[in-house]
Structure 1
Amino acid sequence: MYIPKAFQETDRDTLFQFIRNHSFALLISTGEDGIPVATHLPIELMPTADGQFQLVGHLAKANPQAKLLARDTPSLAIFSGAHSYISSSWYDHVNVPTWNYLSVQVTGRTNTLTDDETLAFLRQQVDKYEAKSKCSVSVESMTEAYVRKEMRGLVAFTMTIDSLQGVAKLSQNRDDTNYKAIIAELRQTGDPNADALADEMAARRA
């Protein structure tokens, strides 16, 4: 993706943590007809046996995109964070409006998991998202037999991490006066996204 130098996020650990924190992603593959297809789904960052990292997820078997994931399919995963409109009325000088945002994009190749690998992945994924539930469920509480039955309707996949790019467009090119004004205005919008963006900006230029 196009990223002006001022907004590039290059620290690998930071990018990986962003993926963990914003795991609901957009997976894009290209069909045999050359037309891109996309699915919104949770995608997890997980270690491989050799100590590297890969992306792992699953989607419905009825989804046409599922048929594309078993052949080293080139794919793109987009992870998005807080974002908000930035009015140029917030500056102390004439300028144009813009949009601030955080995003990580991963390109790689997908392949499908076996049934046993899928079950192991689902166990970890359910445990992760149920950790804060008051009455949490697990593969064991649903019973393995039931989960395996439900697995017939899905396809789980891995995706290599061939390239990793991050953008943090947070008005880094503004001076301190305008930077603080943007943060203050974002906090007054009443928008949770804008407030999260303000928090991120404040933390980066404390």
Structure 2
Amino acid sequence: MYTPKIFQETDRDTLFQFVRDHSFALLITTGDDGVPVATHLPIELLPSADGQFQLTGHLAKANSQWKLLGHDTPALAVFSGAHSYISSSWYDHVNVPTWNYLSVQITGRTRILTEDETLDLLRQQVDKYEVHSKCPVSVDSMTEGYVRKEMRGVVAFTMTIDSLQGTAKLSQNRDDKNYRNIISELRQQGNENADATANEMEARRSDIDK
């Protein structure tokens, strides 16, 4: 991932938390024909039996991308966070527009999970995403026969973390005056991404006047 040094995020704990908070990711693999294939899906960061962290998720069996998993070719998982257009009209000098954003990219080798491992993953995923539901459901609330029947329609995988890269492009190269004005302008855009980007900028230069 291309990232100028000033925008690099290198703290492992910060990157891992970002992955947990932005788990709806893009999984990219390459077929034998060299054509890339991508699927949007929730991907979890979980510890393996030996205590090492790994990525875990599942694809619909009807999605032929699963047939590319378990090969020697590395897969790429892309996790995206807040982002927003930054107008150059917000500066006190002539410059070009840009885009602020947060992203983490992970490459690794994949392995297809067993049926029991898949069941355990589905149990964890449902529990995680149902936690804020008014009437939460769980895998354990369904009959085992029904769950295993439905599992025939998915293929679960795990992915090692061979490389971990993060970008936090948040106008770190701007002086306090322009940095403050960018935050102010983002607040006036009236959309969640702009607000989230402003929040990240404030958090990273917390001593700046708001």
RMSD: 0.7
Offset from partner CA, 1:126-183 (integer Å, 9 cap, x none): 0000011000000111222211110001100000000000000000000000001000
Distance 1:120 1:72, change over 3 A: farther
Q: How far is 1:43 from its partner? A: 0.1
Structure 1 residue 117 corresponds to structure 2 residue 140: no
Q: How far is 1:72 from its partner? A: 4.0
TM-score calculated relative to the size of structure 1? 0.99
Amino acid at match of 2:203: A
Q: What is the total number of aligned residue pairs between the two structures?
A: 206
Offset from partner CA, 1:13-68 (integer Å, 9 cap, x none): 00000000000000000011110000000000000111110000001011110111
2:127 alignment partner in structure 1: 127
**What's the secondary structure of 2:46's corresponding residue?**
strand
CA contact (8 A) 1:75 1:108 kept: yes
1: CA distance between counterparts of 2:135 and 2:118? 24
**What's the secondary structure of 1:194's corresponding residue?**
helix
Q: Extract structure 1 runs of 4+ deviating beyond 4 A.
A: none
Q: How do 1:36-185 and structure 2 match up within 5 A?
A: 36-185=36-185
> Percent identity over the alignment?
81
Distance 1:104 1:182, change over 3 A: same
Offset from partner CA, 1:103-147 (integer Å, 9 cap, x none): 000000111000000001100110000011000000111222211
2: CA distance between counterparts of 1:172 and 1:189? 20
1:204 alignment partner in structure 2: 204
Q: Could you list the runs of 5+ residues in structure 2 that have no partner in the other structure?
A: none
2: CA distance between counterparts of 1:203 and 1:143? 46
CA contact (8 A) 1:72 1:111 kept: no
**What's the secondary structure of 2:100's corresponding residue?**
strand
TM-score calculated relative to the size of structure 2? 0.97
Q: Could you list the runs of 5+ residues in structure 1 that have no partner in the other structure?
A: none
